[in-house]
Structure formats: structure tokens, C-alpha cells
Chains A and B, each alone.
Chain A
Amino acid sequence: MGSLVPGKLGPVLLLRLAVRNLLRNRRRTVLTMITVAFAVFFLHVWNSVLTGLERQSYDNLILYQTAHAKVFHEGWFELRDELPLDRSLDNIDELLMRVTEVPGVAAAVPRIAFQAHLSDGRDQIPVQGLGIETSGSDSDVFRISQAVVEGSYLPPDGYGLLLGSGLARAFDAGPGDWMTVLVRTRTGVWEAQEMEVTGVVLTGNPSIDQNSFLMGLEPARAMLDMDGRATELAIRFAGTVSERSVLERLKEALASDDGLHLAGWREQESEFIALTEVKRGGGLVAMAIFVVVALVGVANTMLLAAFERTQEVGMLLAMGMRAATVRWLFLLEGALTGLGAGALGTLVALGPIFYFAARGIDFSAMFAEDMDIGYPVAGRVFWAVTPAAILVAWLGTAVLAAAATLYAAARASRMKPAEALRHV
């Protein structure tokens, strides 16, 4: 520092001064940083796990349940909890053609979703039935065929059942067992059909694993009196396209037909998406406590530092430094502490984040297969790498730390030089 301190220091000089002050009390600075780094670390981990769960959930929904988008009969969507058969699509081939011509669409396939009762002769429960194409085209859109854990996928003629793993366990049934499917046809008449279980699927999605069975589309049509019809057309987008633009184009392509409803997966699962927001909020209480304790630590340290340096501050003020500059100095020290702590916490967090993002954590040992943890995810949970969030958290730490220093900075800047110099 020069012999004469100018009233207002340039930012670079101020920065160097702040850094030097921090380095002067290395131990104190390090201890403060470690404390805050703890909070930063947990914040990153919590965010990574939750985001990973959410992303995996969305992937699961798209791969097994909602596809990227679906076309329904106009009136079907509002009654979708009841799976009405009388509001169905009937010009399937023409729709398929129109849809697959839209750029960005990779594949489309019809499906029938219906209410049914499943019985093994002893007991009976209400479930959801899904009639799917067995010629292979369903696998262009969904990944059910890769989720078969026992037995095999449906045969080409479609006669057979795939049971969700939870259903299979409830009935203690497996490939080779016969089950009776009880349904109400499109015309409202009850119908029953015996079918042989060909395989068991495990998708991680409770809606499928616990509550659904799958059968061939043609046998389903025959059973339900739905020849040539379907309740939905499921669409998969090509890998690298923008969802919104494809949805727009699809909407245009289907605009000419009044009785259709196009729903992207976000619209289909709007309830679930809303729920994930709420779930995030739940963990906020714990995180908030961590952050509060960390900020108290910073405030404490900086305040004590301010008192400790009373003489020094007095000298600076006496030499002509402006009070505002003193305040900025302290704020900067606080911000730098936060920045350093953020860097530390982030670096340490990146280790496990990248590791578990690649390998995932296997929860199946901890939870039974059929525990519904609120996210449609099974087996391995992969953490998410969220550069944007990580950056924000890091910079946010600096800002928060500065905020925690406000009082200390104010106190320091308000010192009267004469009193300060006298202070022992």
C-alpha cells in the first residue's frame, strides 16, 4: 500500500487489499470457508439427486407411458381417468400417415388403453389394460420389449399377456399361467377372455408395474369391439429436435381435423410435474437450515474480524479512506469468502456427482421393488449434472456471504477514527 491512502480506491486495488486481508488470517478464512462449503456441498448434492430423479422420471414416462406426444379423440382427454372406449380414434391409417410425415417425428403407433379386471380364478382386481402392436412397431415408440424380465415379449399374433411385475407378484403368477381378463366392450357389454401369461415386465413405472397388463392390439380390438380403432396414437420424436417445434408442426398437421386432441408428454403428466415441484420444496426446509447456519458463521466471523481490526480501520479512516470504501472492502472480503467456499464446496461435490451420474446408486437393495417412492424410477438412480444450477449456487454463495457481511461492513464503516485508534 502506498504511504498515502487515496479517498477512493480503484476496484482492482480494493480487490487486492481484500485478498491480502483474507490471506493474512489464513486459518480464520479457511475455517469460515469450510463451514460454508459444507452447506454448498449439500446443496449441490441435493439438487443433483433430485434433478436426476426428475429427469429419470421424465425419461421413464416417455419411454413407457406417454411417449413424446399422443393424439387422442377430442373428448377422451378430459375423461382420461375413466379410460372411455366410446371416445376413440377411427381413421388410424390416415392419421398415422399424416403424423409420420411431420419432420421431427421418428415413429408413431396406435394403442388401446382400457379398464379391466384381472383374475386368476381365486381373486380379482381392477387394472389397466393396454393393447399394443405386436408386429414390432410398438417398439419403435416404446421400450416395453426391453423391460421384459421373465418369459418373453408378446408373440406376433398378439395372443398372450405381459404382466407388470407388481401384478405378477400379487398373483404369484408367471409365464405359462392363465389369467382371465374381464372387460366392458365399447358397446357396454361385459366380456371375458382367458389368456396365457407370456412374460413379466419391470419398467420402474408404478402405473405399469403395479397396475397394468399388456396384450396384442388385434386381440384387444376383437375383445373390446374396437375394430380399426384405437384410444391413442403415440408419437416418438427424433433425437435431436426441439420438442416445442415438433409439437407446433404436429398441431398444424392435425388442425384440419376438429375431433382430435394433441397432448405433449408435459401436458399428459402435468399433475406429476407439479408434484415434483412440491417435493423439491419439501427438502428446502432442511437446506434452509444449513444455509442459515452457514450464513451465521460468515456474519459472526466478519463481525468479529471487524472488531478485531478496529485499530486498523481507524487508521485507514484517519488516513482519508472513505467510509463507503471501508464498507465495500468488508463486503468484498465477505463475497470472496463466499466465492472461495463455493469453489471448495462445488469441487468436492463434483466428485460424487460425476461418479453417481455415471454409475448411479442402486436403491433396490434398500427398497422393495414395489415401494412407490413417488418417482417412476426403478433400480439405479442416476444423479444429474446441472452446470447452470451449479454455477448459480456458486455465485449465489458469494452474494449471500456478502449479504451476511452487511452488518459487519456497516459497523466497520461507521467507526470514528479517533475512538478506533484508541481501542485496545
Chain B
Amino acid sequence: MTSRQPRTPSAPLFGLLFAAAAAATVIPGTVVAQEVREPTEILPRGDVQQVNDPAEILRRVDANLTFSTAWTRARMTIHYRAGDVRTLEFESWASGETRSFLEFTAPARDAGSRFLRLEGVMWYYLPRVGKSVRIQGHMLRQGLMGSDFSLGDATENPRLVEAYDAVVEADSTLDGRPVRVLYLTARTDDVSYASRRAWVDTERWVPLREERYARGGRLLVSVALGDVRQVAGRWYPFRVEMDNALQTDTRTVLETVELRLDLDVPERYFTLRHLEGGS
């Protein structure tokens, strides 16, 4: 049996937010996306027939969605089955595959709640508690602030091509875009999602839809990705809607408001001191 330290899951949700872009030409406010229909020169031109190798498809997806460092401001809206809607805002800093720091800024009752992730361990800090609380393992599957985004997924950014074996299942269309449906199987046992299905846009190489499963085939989570814009040579989904199949009364939408890539994130951000409110 392999090591019990939970490895980073294969397809990070938040990883989608941080695309490794070329230069930090982000304009505060909104990122201006070039309204282009054709892929830019950075990505190789390819039409559906030519990319048969599923590993290559994954590689292209990883190229769009993974990053080295990033800062983002986002809005998370949680819709409850009973009709309530709750909207939260936060900022986050990320570095590499598994280091990230999150701080909620709105609404007032949640402001000041912070999360720090270093490799497989996470700490959270609530102003009312006054000290950091450590969580790991199954707790990473808890939803961030009760949403459908798990803490684990929210703070990771690993590469699909390394964690999964893929096969092409079909070609199809989704929301008017041509997609290739891939079925991914985890290579090792300690990956959070034993298998996945991804509907990958074959012009932009961004998944438009994903389903993630536990061992045995049980659906754990459904993801819908949209508002795909071009950002400094990548295609990037600015809207992600997530539905945790086990938490049946919620549906969460994450919208990226502001995004900066490849910036200098100070090391001290990823410390407990910073988590607890030190400089």
C-alpha cells in the first residue's frame, strides 16, 4: 500500500484560476481578454483530428491551467436548495503546485478568515478563535466555507498528465464548442479522485465540463467551466460552477474578478505567522 499522505488531487479547481502567463500585463479591474476566435500563436495550431494522443491533450490542458505564481481576487456565490444565496469574496496567493494562502474579505462576518496550505497540510485561522487550527487528510475534502469547492481542490495546482492515464472516449459538442471526451484513471492509489471524465474543448484545450469519481465509480463532483477568455497566451475559464454530489443542497459558482500571474509572492506569506496576522 502506498504512502498515506494524501497527494494533491489531479485536477485543481483553483489551479484553473492561475494560468502561467507571459508577462504581468494585468490591468487592475478586469482582465481584458482579446476577443479572438482562433488560438494564438503560442499554442500550436491543431485541429481535432491531429491530436489523437490523450497524453498530449492533457499536456495542453496543463499548459493552460497550471502556473508558477499567481494572485487572484474572486467572488464565490453559494446557492442553497432552500433558496438562500450567500456571496463571499476573497483574495489568494499561490506558489507552485501546493503552496497557497487565502484570505476572505467580504462579508464582514467572514472577513479575516484565512487558510494556509503547505504541501499536504492546511491550517485555518478565524479571528474569533485567535490561533491557527491544523487540518489534514479528510478535512481537506470539506467545502471551503461550506461551499462545493473542497479545501483541497481550492488550494492545489498539479499536473493531470503526471497523475492520470487517459483514453479518448468520444468526440462531441458542448455549448456549441467541439469537445473531446477523455476518461482518466489515476496512476496511483493516493490520488483523491480515482477517475475522471473531462470534456475538453479541442480548439482551446480547456475542459468545459468535468466529472470526478471515487473508487468504485461513485460520482463525487461535477464541474462546469465557462467564460473562457484569453489571457496572455492562455485560454482560461473565468467562471467555474461546482456541484458536490455528496453535499446535495448546495451549488457553488466561482468567478475570477482579478488575476495576476507570475508575480513575486513573498515567501513569508506562506507562514503560520502570516496566517495568524503577523506581518
Q: In the complex, are the beta carbons of A222 and B5 less than 8 A apart?
A: no
Q: CA separation between A158 and B5, bound complex, in Å?
A: 24
Residue B171 interfacial (CB < 8 Å): no
Q: Which of B139, B216, B220 contacts A190 (CB 8 A)?
A: B139
Say which one of A38-46, A129-137, A179-187, A297-305 lies at the interface with B. Answer: A179-187
What are the residues of chain A within 8 A of B248 when measuring CB–CB? 121-122
Q: In the complex, are the beta carbons of B218 and A191 less than 8 A apart?
A: no
Which residue on A lies nearest to B247, using beta carbons? A121
What are the residues of chain A within 8 A of B249 when measuring CB–CB? 122
Q: Mark A120-163, 1 if CB is under 8 A from B, else 0.
A: 11100000000000000000000000000000000000010000
Q: In the complex, are the beta carbons of A196 and B216 less than 8 A apart?
A: yes
Q: In the complex, are the beta carbons of A187 and B4 less than 8 A apart?
A: yes
Q: How far is the CB of B18 from chain A (nearest CB, A)?
A: 26
Residue B1 interfacial (CB < 8 Å): yes
Q: Mark A187-226, 1 if CB is under 8 A from B, else 0.
A: 1011111111000000000000000000000000010010
What are the residues of chain B within 8 A of A178 when measuring CB–CB? 218, 246
Residue A252 interfacial (CB < 8 Å): no
Q: How far is the CB of B5 from chain A (nearest CB, A)?
A: 6
Interface residues on B, range: 20 to 34
Given contacts A122-B249, A192-B137, A194-B218, could you give 8 more A-B pairs where the C-beta distance is less than 8 Å? A121-B246, A121-B247, A180-B246, A189-B6, A190-B137, A193-B214, A193-B215, A194-B216
Residue A101 interfacial (CB < 8 Å): no
Chain B CB within 10 Å, residue with most, of A119, A184, A192, A225: A192
The dominant DSSP class at the A interface is: strand
What are the residues of chain A within 8 A of B135 when measuring CB–CB? 190
Residue B132 interfacial (CB < 8 Å): no
Q: CA separation between A196 and B141, bound complex, in Å?
A: 18
Chain B residues in the interface with A (C-beta under 8 A): 1, 4-6, 135-139, 141, 214-216, 218, 220, 244-249
What are the residues of chain B within 8 A of A192 when measuring CB–CB? 137-138, 141
Q: CA separation between A227 and B249, bound complex, in Å?
A: 37
Can you sample 5 A-B contacts with CB below 8 Å? Answer: A189-B137, A190-B139, A193-B215, A194-B216, A227-B1
Q: CA separation between A183 and B4, bound complex, in Å?
A: 12
Q: CA separation between A178 and B220, bound complex, in Å?
A: 10
Given contacts A121-B246, A159-B216, A194-B218, contact A182 B138 (CB under 8 A): yes
Q: In the complex, are the beta carbons of A225 and B247 less than 8 A apart?
A: no
Q: Which of B1, B6, B214 contacts A194 (CB 8 A)?
A: B214
Q: How far is the CB of B120 from chain A (nearest CB, A)?
A: 9
What are the residues of chain B within 8 A of A122 when measuring CB–CB? 247-249
Q: CA separation between A190 and B190, bound complex, in Å?
A: 12
Q: How far is the CB of B242 from chain A (nearest CB, A)?
A: 14
Chain A residues in the interface with B (C-beta under 8 A): 119-122, 159, 178, 180, 182-185, 187, 189-196, 222, 225, 227
Q: CA separation between A119 and B139, bound complex, in Å?
A: 12
Which residue on A lies nearest to B214, using beta carbons? A194
Which residue on A lies nearest to B248, using beta carbons? A121
Q: CA separation between A182 and B6, bound complex, in Å?
A: 13
What are the residues of chain A within 8 A of B137 when measuring CB–CB? 184, 189-192
Q: In the complex, are the beta carbons of B4 and A189 less than 8 A apart?
A: yes
Which residue on B lies nearest to A179, using beta carbons? B246
Which residue on B lies nearest to A225, using beta carbons? B4
What are the residues of chain B within 8 A of A222 when measuring CB–CB? 1
Q: How far is the CB of B223 from chain A (nearest CB, A)?
A: 17
Q: Which of B6, B215, B216, B244 contacts A121 (CB 8 A)?
A: B244
What are the residues of chain B within 8 A of A227 when measuring CB–CB? 1
Q: CA separation between A196 and B246, bound complex, in Å?
A: 13
Q: How far is the CB of A156 from chain B (nearest CB, A)?
A: 15
Given contacts A189-B137, A191-B138, contact A225 B6 (CB under 8 A): no
Given contacts A191-B137, A191-B138, contact A185 B4 (CB under 8 A): yes
Q: How far is the CB of B211 from chain A (nearest CB, A)?
A: 14
Given contacts A122-B249, A178-B218, A194-B216, contact A189 B1 (CB under 8 A): no
Q: CA separation between A180 and B249, bound complex, in Å?
A: 16
Q: In the complex, are the beta carbons of A225 and B216 less than 8 A apart?
A: no
Q: CA separation between A163 and B215, bound complex, in Å?
A: 20
Which residue on A lies nearest to B190, using beta carbons? A191
Q: CA separation between A66 and B137, bound complex, in Å?
A: 32
What are the residues of chain A within 8 A of B245 when measuring CB–CB? 121
Which residue on A lies nearest to B120, using beta carbons? A189
Q: In the complex, are the beta carbons of A189 and B214 less than 8 A apart?
A: no
Q: In the complex, are the beta carbons of B218 and A196 less than 8 A apart?
A: yes
What are the residues of chain B within 8 A of A195 when measuring CB–CB? 216
In the A-B complex, list the 3 residue pairs whose CB atoms are closest, starting with the nearest: A190-B137, A121-B246, A192-B138
Q: How far is the CB of B91 from chain A (nearest CB, A)?
A: 28
Q: CA separation between A190 and B121, bound complex, in Å?
A: 11
What are the residues of chain B within 8 A of A187 when measuring CB–CB? 4
What are the residues of chain B within 8 A of A184 when measuring CB–CB? 137
What are the residues of chain B within 8 A of A193 when measuring CB–CB? 214-215
Q: How far is the CB of A71 from chain B (nearest CB, A)?
A: 25
Which residue on B lies nearest to A121, using beta carbons? B246
Q: How far is the CB of B79 from chain A (nearest CB, A)?
A: 16
Q: CA separation between A184 and B248, bound complex, in Å?
A: 25
Q: CA separation between A330 and B80, bound complex, in Å?
A: 86
Q: In the complex, are the beta carbons of A194 and B220 less than 8 A apart?
A: yes
What are the residues of chain B within 8 A of A159 when measuring CB–CB? 216
Given contacts A194-B214, A196-B216, contact A189 B246 (CB under 8 A): no
Q: In the complex, are the beta carbons of A189 and B5 less than 8 A apart?
A: yes
Q: In the complex, are the beta carbons of B214 and A191 less than 8 A apart?
A: no
What are the residues of chain B within 8 A of A191 when measuring CB–CB? 4, 6, 137-138
Q: How far is the CB of B212 from chain A (nearest CB, A)?
A: 12
What are the residues of chain A within 8 A of B214 when measuring CB–CB? 193-194
What are the residues of chain A within 8 A of B220 when measuring CB–CB? 194
Q: How far is the CB of B126 from chain A (nearest CB, A)?
A: 20
Q: CA separation between A182 and B135, bound complex, in Å?
A: 13
